[in-house]
Amino acid sequence: MYEQDYILRIIGLWGQAIRRALESLRIGHQAEALEYAEQAIRLALDTDPALALRLTPEGLVAYLGIGGDIDSRRAQMLADALDARARVLLEMGRDGEADLDTARADAVREAAGIEAVSDFVLELARDDDVGDLRQIGEDIDVAVDEITGEDV
């Protein structure tokens, strides 16, 4: 019970961090957007994002696989957070770092057998406006439902 509540809370916080990163980027607050994207990485990994950002794509996959199989839900969250960070870095003109984050995200997805960016993040990324925050909150709930297989 407590473990499930904790997992749902982490997923909710991760969704908020992704949403805030993309919202901040849309309104031109790039440094803030980068902080939120890195917060999402922290939540997905449950460790300092600096670790993931120092590793090569292959090294990150090896790190995720320590102790057995890669958790596909955690991998999806991490890959989406890396994609969000890459989007921010591109806007900041830091193309090399953005390319590396994209490569990390692709490697994580491939290793976990995930084919694409989650629908939740795609929808946020496509939206040119900040949009209705209530709808974004509902989208987070739907994403949590998809990941956990339960209603929140």
Q: Is residue 5 pLDDT above 80, yes or no?
A: no
Cβ-contact 27, 43 below 8 angstroms = no
- Residue 61 amino acid letter: V
pLDDT given for residue 138 in this prediction? 54
DSSP per residue over 102-129, as a string?
HHHHHHHHHHHT--S--HHHHHHHH-SS
3-state secondary structure of 70: coil
In angstroms, the CA 76 to CA 16 distance is 15
| Of 151 and 68, the one with more pLDDT | 68
Q: What is the rounded average pLDDT of the residues 67-95?
A: 91
Where in the sequence is the domain holding 8, given as residue range(s)?
2-148
pLDDT given for residue 139 in this prediction? 57
Domain count, the chain: 1
Q: What is the rounded average pLDDT of the residues 103-111?
A: 94
For the entire predicted model, the pTM comes to: 0.76
In angstroms, the CA 22 to CA 25 distance is 5
Question: For 128, phi and psi rounded to 5 degrees?
Answer: -80, -20
pLDDT in tens, 20-59: 998 999 999 999 999 999 999 999 998 999 998 999 999 9
